Structure 1
Amino acid sequence: MGKIVTLGEVMMRLSTNPGERLAHAQQFDVCYGGGEANVAISLANYGHEVVFASKVPNNALGQSVKKFLNSYGVSTTNLLFGGKRLGLYYMEAGVAKRSADVIYDRLGSSFAAITEIEWDLEALFEGVDVFHISGITSALSKEWQKRTIDLIKFAKNTGVKISFDINYRSKLWSLEEAQETIRKILPYVDYCSAGELDARYLLNIPKCSENKGIKNEMIYYYQEMQGMFPNIEVFYSTKRAIYSVTENDLTGNIWMDKKYYESDCHHINPIVDRIGGGDAFSGGVLHGLLCQNDPQTIINFATAASALKHTVLGDCNQFSVSEVNDFLDSGSGKIKR
């Protein structure tokens, strides 16, 4: 097992019930989440030593976040307290062909308002195997665009592997801002979550044409991305066929040792909660890499973990290694007796 640091903003999520519009909601379901926090929880569930670094207000909400993370075994020794408020986001649950919708309310939050690095970085990265961060953190402010690169460089210089999820959010920053910052980050990255849309729109890789003679388009995109950033050892992503909000097909793929591997397709119906599925997938990939599993085992496990995440409410994965493996072995909804 390994030691991992993840760093990012944890938020309170306020969700409507299916069929209820935000404008008419009288009550919300409440949970906590955020990309890096969700990955931290997955890895802690799998038995790794995980530290989550962030900043929350010094009030009852901040304490609630700490208790939430601790309940999953995530260390909060680097969870700072201070600032004015906890970031929020509102989710209007989707139904049938109508997609879910998100409204962010995180401007001026304790984490977003950080302008200088407030952690003791030597202590934070001591003995750490992997540092995981995402493009969402970079998108929070001009300061965070700089701070993200500073953090990655420091961790890299201490021998820590860098895991980066591009995780582009158009509601947080422009495509042009994202392109500029992400291209500065990727030369320091070892493991990268990036799919076709990231390749085409953030890295300006031309769309794969039929005359390329490549059976699987993702092989083309991974080859092109690795050509641009040869330092990146592993690329991974999911492919999703969407029939409705509650019915999807999910397949995972990974590019490792200059070879392409793909999982079986998981038909998920009904989907209880899709948010956090990508973070569960990233957590599964990092678990496999830390355990030095072979690429096919890694992608099978990660995709199964993501599929399982779709079956529970909230942002985070709630399953252990044995539960994911049992799901892989059974491949059905049989009762466990």
Structure 2
Amino acid sequence: MSKIVTLGEIMLRLSTENNNRFIQSNTFRADYGGGEANVAVSLANFGIESEYVTKLPNNPLSDSIFRYLKANGVETKNIVLGGERLGTYYLEVGTSVRASSVIYDRKYSSFSTLNYNELQIESILKDCKILHLSGITPALSENCKELTIKIMEKAKEMGVLISFDFNYRGKLWTLDEASPVLTSYLPYIDICFAGILDAKNIMKLGDHSDLNEYYKEITKKYPNIKYLLSTKRETHSVNENSLTGFIFKEGELIASPRYTFQIVDRVGGGDAFAAGALFGIYNNHSPKDIVDFATAASVYKHTVRGDANLVSKDEIYNIINNGISTVSR
């Protein structure tokens, strides 16, 4: 059975409780999360063989991360141990008109020191159908920039599909720093998660009126990209959003239904969308089925506290088939 491999940094997330501000907080809720780890957990819960690759310090916090990943069915055999510290981020949970905010404490983390030659890359990519990466990794260090391009080159050599989520983070690097790095990866990518802002600000494409025109230009310039995906979020308040998903395949832009929902935890919603899309692509579903499943998965994640989408595929199909209901009987 072929697998999906994700590679990136997992962090300790410390969140304020009861919508408190940082300045009010004496206690924090602890979770583990990171874009690529969240995708791996979602895929495993959907029944896909998934493997997560990262680098962790050799300490009890990492033991807890191994337990968390294994409990969710994620393969961890190629995780590297070494370095000094686990990356951390602090989340001030917003409410009403006050947005959530994040403070990163991840400089010099173990993952940021990961070198390509520390990985058993042939073993990692053997029997791998899709490799999922994101634009967060190259933002972390020069090591990580080099690691990203080298693993892409090896994946192409071995016939592995490459999935890439642009995931630009302004707190990690500037647009001027990110643009040349991220655009250099585009010739390798088969499945691309990128929206209008990525096309305008990172790819530096022309000023188009809509997403369809941007996607047409991207695929004309990079015909290797087989799927382009993104979401449109409408923010009614911190606690209520609407979401629509989009997929562009073979010149056609297809939209999902629009969902409006209350939010328990917004973090990881994009990762849930990516995992849902990869589930559909892995199973050779139609573009419409792919984007419908991905969007419903993202919507569901907003109801789950923590970074990862702890949900089965049957629960996602229930949303698709029956809509958002109040009670499951």
TM-score range (shorter-chain normalised) is over 0.9
Q: Is the 8 A contact 2:131 2:161 kept in 1?
A: yes
> Per the alignment, in what secondary structure is the counterpart of residue 47 of structure 1?
coil
Correspondent of 1:299 among 291, 302, 321: 291
Describe how 1:161-176 pairs up with structure 2 within 5 A.
161-176=161-176
User: How far apart are residue 114 of structure 1 and its match?
Assistant: 2.2
Secondary structure of the structure 1 residue equivalent to 2:113:
coil
* TM-score between the two structures when normalised by the length of structure 2: 0.98
Paired residues for 1:1-337 under 5 Å: 2-209=2-209, 217-269=210-262, 271-337=263-329
Say whether the 8 Å CA contact 1:18–1:95 is kept in structure 2: no
Which ranges of 4 or more aligned residues in structure 1 deviate by more than 3 Å? none
- Residue 149 of structure 1 and its aligned partner are, at CA, apart by 0.4
Displacement of 1:24 in angstroms is: 2.7
AA of the residue aligned to 2:180: E
Letter in 2 for 1:64: S
Letter in 1 for 2:318: D
Amino acid paired to 1:302: A
C-alpha contact 1:162 1:189 (8 A) present in aligned 2: yes
Contact 2:280 2:289 in 1 (8 A): yes
Compute the displacement of 1:228 (Å).
2.0
Separation in 1, partners of 2:109, 2:324? 43
- State how far apart, in whole Å, the 1-side matches of 2:36 and 2:64 are: 17
- Retained in 1: the 8 A contact 2:116–2:150? no
Cα displacement (A) at 1:334: 4.0
**Unmatched segments (≥5 aa) in structure 1:** 210-216
Evaluate the alpha carbon distance shift between residue 287 and residue 116 of structure 1 in structure 2; reply closer, same or farther with a 3 A threshold.
Answer: closer
Using the alignment, how far apart are the partners of 1:317 and 1:147 within structure 2? Answer: 27
State the superposition RMSD in angstroms.
Answer: 1.1
Cα distance in structure 1, aligned partners of 2:127 and 2:292: 29
8 A contact 1:2–1:290 mirrored in 2: no
User: 1:117, 1:20 → 2: CA distance?
Assistant: 44
Report the Cα distance in structure 2 between the residues aligned to 1:286 and 1:115, rounded to whole angstroms: 27
Post-superposition CA distance 1:79-125 (Å, at most 9, x none): 12121111100000111121110000011111112244311111110
Secondary structure, counterpart of 2:186 in structure 1: helix
User: Contact 2:2–2:127 at 8 Å: present in 1 too?
Assistant: no
Rounded to whole Å, the distance in 2 between the matches of 1:324 and 1:248 is: 18
Identity of paired residues, percent? 46
| Aligned residue identity for 2:259 | H
CA distance in 2 between partners of 1:136 and 1:332 (Å): 32
TM-score by length of 1: 0.95
Deviations 1:183-234 (A, max 9, x none): 111100000000000001001122224xxxxxxx111110111122111000
Corresponding residue number in structure 2 for 1:213: none
**Which string of whole-angstrom CA distances, capped at 9 and with x for unpartnered residues, describes residues 152-201 of structure 1?**
11111100000000000011111112101111111000000000000010
Distance in 2 between residues matched to 1:335 and 1:65, nearest whole Å: 33
Structure 1 CA distance for aligned equivalents of residues 176 and 153 of structure 2: 23
Separation in structure 1 between the aligned mates of residue 197 and residue 18 of structure 2, nearest angstrom: 29
**Residues 18 and 94, structure 1, Cα contact 8 Å, conserved in 2:** no
Tell me the SS of whatever aligns to 2:122: helix
Q: What CA distance in whole angstroms lies between the structure 1 residues aligned with 2:115 and 2:23?
A: 34
My pick for the range that moved more, 300-309 or 137-146, is 137-146
The Cα shift of 1:325 comes to 0.3
Q: Residue 173 of structure 1: SS of its match in structure 2?
A: coil
Unaligned 5+ runs, structure 2 = none
